[in-house]
Amino acid sequence: MIPIPMPPPPPTDPPQGADMVVIPKEHAVFWMDDQGRWCNRHGPFQHRRIIDHFNRSIRRDEGGYYLTQARDDLIEKVYFRYAETPLFATRFTSAPAPRLYLNTGATVDLSPADLFVRNDQLYQQLKDEHIKFTERALMDIAPLLGETAGGLVIGIGQAVYAIADG
């Protein structure tokens, strides 16, 4: 498994050497919905700082996606549920090069060959993971998209690339 590029851990990451408790996703009290919103039993989170912290804290290992939290001398590693993917392109810029800004704080190059549409949603494949475009990212990239008889395309510079369906 090749990890996706991630920003440095937030300053609240747990200290090395602390005891760890692993909470499986079935017991997590929060999850991410299909639009990339963090939710709990009361509904979507409302506080931007908490949302940003959760997004920046997403990590992945062989067990799946998780967040960690330090409590005294204990580390909680909480695997969480998500609808399709916990990775979302929240913004797109074309200059100086086409880039996607992810909810995690990471940036990745836009790869036209790795774009695909499924259920009327735009995604980019990234190794063994996929990134879903948010509405804002779609608005950013919309001027580059077009429709042909063969389907959806994206124009980057002088090149036009077909976007796979499915």
What is the model's pLDDT at position 2?
Answer: 41
Q: Measured between alpha carbons, how far is 32 from 26 in angstroms, rounded to an integer?
A: 13
- Of 82, 112, 131, which closes a domain? 82
Does a structural domain hold residue 101?
yes
The residue range of the domain holding 34 is 19-82
Find the CATH number of the domain harbouring 53.
Answer: 3.10.540
Alpha-carbon Rg for the chain in angstroms: 18
Residues 52-106: pLDDT tens digits?
999 999 999 999 999 998 877 889 999 999 999 999 999 999 888 899 999 999 9
Q: What is the overall mean pLDDT for the chain?
A: 90
Residues 94, 108: one domain? yes
In this predicted structure, which of 9-23, 84-98, 143-157 has the lowest mean pLDDT?
9-23
Determine the distance from the C-alpha atom of residue 154 to the mean position of all C-alpha atoms in its chain, rounded to a whole number.
21
Q: Measured between alpha carbons, how far is 38 from 54 in angstroms, rounded to an integer?
A: 8
How many domains does the chain fold into? Answer: 2
